[in-house]
Amino acid sequence: MDERVKVYESKMEKTLNSLEKEYIAIRAGRANPHVLDKLVVDYYGSPTPIQQVGNISVPEARMIVIQPWESKLIKAIEKAILASDIGITPNNDGKSIRLVFPELTEERRKELAKDVKKKGEAAKVAVRNIRRDANDAFKKLSKSKEISEDELADLEEATQKVTDKYIEKVEKAIEAKTKEVLTV
């Protein structure tokens, strides 16, 4: 494959990776420690990820336990969880914080499935925008006579094949996450 197309393929790969990271944070009824990935607490004046200030474990399918290394951090961690969009009220016993994930209702599952689809559609748009940028760049090369018309056609065809491949990968990711969210 042409190096010029590979540049755009790596951008499409980053788009897919970004979508998969977003999907990890969508909870599907089971406790997933990744829902805490974006949360930070004030630790001696600097914002620090929760994973770096305590031990996170999943003792049961629908429970996450956070044990801070310093007990004075419990209030800060609780505050960060309440301020986030996780939608779970933390319980603390003075030593650790428990997050109990309720069973998802049918309505909530459908909302999550819509959200999964929306994020997937946004990723597909991003992939198509990368294709457009690639084709624009190749047309400029053709106009300035750096590549021939045949080379332009080959580059556009290669870009389209890469685009189709990544659109299909996004479709599969949407399908898999939707199935996971809708499974009771």
pLDDT (tens, 9 = 90+) of the chain, 184 residues, equals 688 889 999 999 999 999 988 887 776 667 778 778 788 888 888 888 888 888 998 888 888 899 998 888 888 888 888 888 777 888 888 889 998 887 778 888 888 889 999 999 999 999 999 999 999 999 998 888 888 889 989 999 999 999 999 999 999 999 999 988 887 6
Q: Which amino acid is at 94?
A: G
The DSSP letter of residue 61 is T
Concatenated DSSP letters for 94-154?
Answer: SS-EEEEPPPPPHHHHHHHHHHHHHHHHHHHHHHHHHHHHHHHHHHHHHHTTSS-HHHHHH
Count CB atoms within 10 A of the CB of residue 160: 14
Closest CA to 64 of 109, 13, 38, 102: 102
Sequence-distant (≥ 6) Cβ neighbours of residue 170 within 8 angstroms: 15, 16, 19, 120, 123, 124, 127
- Quick check: pTM over 0.75? no
Count CB atoms within 10 A of the CB of residue 151: 15
Phi/psi for 70 (5° steps) reads -125, 125
